[in-house]
Amino acid sequence: MTALHREALVADLHNDLILLVDHFDRRGRPDYFGDFWLPELRAGGVDVQVLPVFIDEPFQSEGALRRTLLLVERIHRLAEQYPQLTVCRTAAEIRQTTADGGIALVIALEGAHALGQDPELIRTMERIGVRVVSLAHLGRTLLADGSGVDDTACGGLTPQGREVLSEMERLGIVYDLSHLGLAGVEDVLELAGRPLLATHSACRAVTDIHRNLTDTQLKGVAELGGVIGVAAAIPPFIDPGRPTAARVVDHIEHLASVTSIDAVGLGPDFIDDYYREVHGGWAIPGMAATWEAAEIRRPSDLPRITEEMEQRGFTETDIRKVLGGNAMRVLDQVMGVPAAAAAP
């Protein structure tokens, strides 16, 4: 790890580790996080970890709310189990936690399946500590269509989805654009009045896949003061044939050239270990797993991105922005800050 990476604030906007923690809990290994993930986060210099709650397909229709609450509760219990962790509801709490040498956890919902068709449940989620939310995954929810159905449906936000977006902005919950379908992205960029995140996406101009964002979409996020977390750990998003740290930085460079360095963050999407342990390999609907293994596979690999940026001549200021400074700016402005209390 370079000195710069060690000293910088590093914010990972998307790691699905709670799924694997839950998997091993149910197999009599409640210390799995401490044995595996905590050393990984420390080795990667991660100071801020956004923890998405993703609902596997068997739970999405009838069991989504129960499953969501169980996983959110497990995140809170992680913080009780390990004194190094703090579940944070505001950016001020994040800054205090990292200043004390701890790891700040931010609870997120990926797909928001738990809301069903009841927008008022977003207030319940805010009460239990959820601070980042996306409204769809690959498929369709009652709030929006995901990018995986763009070829057949391409619906935007439903009326309930629009209501949830409005309420999120009022409450101070950060909107997450990743996974949203084409029409939904257009809706959000038109309706949003506060900075938002695309927690784990990349550039379609570099790698043409539905999960990546077009240059126009990237510019729209940046114009709102938002940040795109580059999905460094997912080979088909980066480059199926060469998913290296160098290609990750190619996405970073393109994103910065289309918008500005202020719109770039990291959202690696560390899910490789989960797929291998639970499914025996990659299992992404509609994608054949024919790609090479990612060089950025786990948090301990994150310093390689910093090394690559240093070798390419990125300034220290710009590297610090990408590693966590830009993401923290959005969290400072929105997370736990009700719209009425936000600075004009």
Give the tens place of pLDDT for each residue, 245-303. 999 999 999 999 999 999 999 999 999 898 889 888 776 665 666 778 899 999 999 99
pLDDT classification of 344: cutoffs 50, 70, 90:
very low
Tens digits of residue pLDDT in 119-173: 999 999 999 999 999 887 765 677 876 665 555 666 688 889 999 999 999 999 9
Whether residue 322 has pLDDT greater than 80: yes
| Segment 61-70, tens digit of pLDDT | 678 899 999 9
Alpha helices in 82-195 (DSSP H): 91-99, 121-127, 159-171, 182-191
pLDDT-derived band at 15, boundaries 50, 70, 90: very high
What mean pLDDT do residues 176-201 have? 91
Given a contact cutoff of 8 angstroms between Cβ atoms, the answer to whether 141 and 113 are in contact is yes
State phi, psi for 256 to the nearest 5 degrees: -65, -35
Answer whether residue 86 shows pLDDT above 80: yes
pLDDT in tens, 251-265: 999 999 999 999 999
Longest CA–CA separation in the chain, Å: 51
Residue 98 confidence (pLDDT) above 70 = yes
* pLDDT of the residue at 281: 76
Residue 11 pLDDT exceeds 90: yes
Q: pLDDT tens digit string along 16-33? A: 999 999 999 999 999 999
Q: Is the pLDDT of residue 314 over 80?
A: yes
pTM confidence score: 0.93
- CA 181, CA 97: separation in Å to the nearest integer? 35
Q: CA–CA separation, 168 vs 191, rounded Å?
A: 12
Q: How confident is the model at residue 94 (pLDDT cuts 50, 70, 90)?
A: very high
| CATH class given for the domain over 3-341 | alpha beta
Boundaries of every domain in the chain: 3-341
**CA–CA separation, 64 and 79 (whole Å):** 23
CB 106 within 8 A of CB 51: yes
> What pLDDT, on the 0 to 100 scale, is given for residue 278?
86
pLDDT over 70 (residue 343)? no
Q: What is the mean pLDDT of the chain?
A: 91
Bridge partners of 25, per DSSP, are none
Query: Is beta strand 174-175 parallel, antiparallel or unpaired with respect to 103-110?
Result: unpaired
Q: On the CB side of 115, how many CA atoms lie within 13 Å of its CA? A: 32
Q: Give CA–CA dist 97/116, Å, rounded.
A: 33
Contact 130, 108 (CB under 8 A): yes
